[in-house]
Amino acid sequence: MPTNPGNTVIDPKFPKYVYASKPLVPVYSKVKKGEQRATLFIGEWMKILDDPVPKRGRVHVRYRGGKGYVSCNDYTYSRMLEVFFIDVDQGDSILIQTPDDRRILIDGGESDDAHTFIRDKYNLYEKENYIDFEAMIATHSDADHTSGLIKILKDPKIAVKRFYHNGLFRRTVEASDPGPVIGNRIFSLVDRPGINAAPPLSYLMRRLVKAVEQARTNMPKVIGKMKAQERWKGRIDAPPGGFVFARLDASDRYLPPYDDKNSYLTVEVLWPAARKVNGRLSYSKYGDAGKTVNGNSIVLCLKHKKKRILLTGDLNEKAMDDILKRYGSGGKNPSKRLRADVYKAAHHGSQHFSVPFLKAVKPNAAVVSSGDNRYDKHGHPRAILMGTITRYSRKSKPAVFSTELAACFRRIPMSKKKRRAFMEGRSQIYEKAIMGIVHLRSDGKNLYLGTVHGRKPPEKRFKNIRWKWDIWPEI
């Protein structure tokens, strides 16, 4: 695990930005002794305030939420891979922050939660602050993956450079939703559907396509504003050939620009896999329109040096078995292309999963993104999935993290008068006190997952000493 800078090359543009180098780094109120003011998870940024920087003892830093002192042995100049499994209730949204300060967003949930998280994280409320995404991906066209992307695509403070999808857009005509079927294949895979496509796109798909076109217009404007700022000079540009709006599948092999020429991070595209039938591209049909769209979700494998993270959209059992066939189940030695240290559970922890697929993945840890907020109509994550998902782990103590379980709710006090006025006293109002974000950090050799619990003292807004981290592996 990297610690003090040592032989690390310091970025001349940001000579005083450093990152927590240990699983949990204590921050103290004084340069010597003092109370513990905060606990930082590995990879959290800090800005050194001392000049010159001390070589031993504690260094004065600013961190997200306050100032304090950390040991000189507890920081590194090397930035880590950060993955945030965002709490979007029922749905998926995954933000990837690369070690060279680039961003990928996979899905956006159905609500505005992902957009709010991004605006808060990058402080886009400040006039001069902008951000860019190398790629935004809708793994498939369900509302709980795509609807939340619309506000992000339209945000005038955000430049989206590439928008990828699986080529299946929901239609209003049931017989052609999401495309014509011949035998067990579905056709009419598209790269860039028109608003007035025939058969007509569903209302959500029309809104999504319009938002992508707005992102195309936004991109040069935002990039121009970012280039004018010193912090972004030499670090921001449009993709070669301009804005991308395209279908992504296994034939592409990698998500641009994270191909096998990239030394620190590759993003391999494993699924869906289109096949030509009578000269026309098609996917496998997995039942009705919903199951077919789910089964052809975009599946990505992030490779950060020695660590692998498998992201699976809403895959179902039949699709998992087809992926195994494509990459070779191999009897007792299944394909290592599916092997992963961390596995994002398919379809929010649905019971429709393939045991042979999990045997191939052998995840040491899993993340489930779910959160029915009304009547628990989906029942995710399902008990059988939770009991099976890390059963084939290579670790003696595997872990399962859940955005739903990580969220905490606070009861809002109500007077008797308000209670009588509110559903005749039969209901109670709650607010989400802690978002169920699952954090992943990797330096390529070591990988940690963590969630926050505890409580923040209301009288000290930025003091998070009472926040506790549940992290894996244990320390």
Q: d(Cα 142, Cα 163) in Å, to the nearest integer?
A: 16
Query: Does residue 3 carry a pLDDT above 60?
Result: no
Rounded mean pLDDT, 461-474: 70
More confident residue, 222 or 429: 222
Segment 27-55, tens digit of pLDDT: 999 999 889 888 999 999 999 999 889 99
In a domain, 59, yes or no: no
Percent of the chain with pLDDT over 70: 83
The distance from CA 83 to its chain's CA centroid, rounded to whole angstroms, is 6
In a domain, 260, yes or no: yes
Query: Does residue 447 carry a pLDDT above 50?
Result: yes
Question: Which helix (DSSP H) or strand (DSSP E) does residue 203 occupy?
Answer: helix 203-227
Segment 139-167, tens digit of pLDDT: 999 999 999 999 999 999 999 999 999 99
- When mean pLDDT is compared across 169-173, 264-268, 315-319, 378-382, the lowest value belongs to 378-382
DSSP 8-state secondary structure symbol assigned to residue 59: E
Query: Does residue 213 carry a pLDDT above 80?
Result: yes
Tokens of 435: 């978002």
pLDDT recorded at residue 203: 96
- When mean pLDDT is compared across 91-100, 122-131, 321-330, 382-391, the lowest value belongs to 382-391
Rounded mean pLDDT, 215-230: 95
In a domain, 391, yes or no: yes
* pTM of the full structure: 0.90
Alpha helices (runs of H) in 31-136, residue ranges in sequence order: 113-121
Tokens of 274: 């289109």
Query: Does residue 2 carry a pLDDT above 50?
Result: no
pLDDT recorded at residue 420: 61
pLDDT recorded at residue 329: 60
Tokens of 73: 């042995």
Residue 62 Rama label (left phi>0; alpha psi -120 to 50; beta): beta
132 forms beta bridges with 159
pLDDT recorded at residue 360: 92
More confident residue, 82 or 233: 82
Query: Does residue 427 carry a pLDDT above 70?
Result: no
CB-CB neighbours of 474 under 10 Å? 8
In a domain, 139, yes or no: yes
Query: Does residue 6 carry a pLDDT above 50?
Result: no
Q: What is the CATH number of the domain that holds 140?
A: 3.60.15.10
pLDDT recorded at residue 135: 97
Q: d(Cα 462, Cα 410) in Å, to the nearest integer?
A: 19
Query: Does residue 462 carry a pLDDT above 70?
Result: no
Number of domains in the chain: 1
Question: Which helix (DSSP H) or strand (DSSP E) does residue 177 occupy?
Answer: none
Residue 228 — φ and ψ, nearest 5°? Answer: -75, -10
Query: Does residue 408 carry a pLDDT above 60?
Result: yes
In a domain, 275, yes or no: yes
In a domain, 437, yes or no: no
Half-sphere exposure of 424 (CA within 13 A, CB side): 0
More confident residue, 240 or 335: 240
- Which residue range is the domain that position 154 belongs to? 81-406
Per the omega criterion (within 30 degrees of 0), is the bond before 239 cis? no
In a domain, 256, yes or no: yes
In a domain, 95, yes or no: yes
Query: Does residue 306 carry a pLDDT above 70?
Result: yes
Q: What is the dihedral of CA 109, 448, 129, 47, to 10 degrees?
A: 160
Rounded mean pLDDT, 209-224: 97
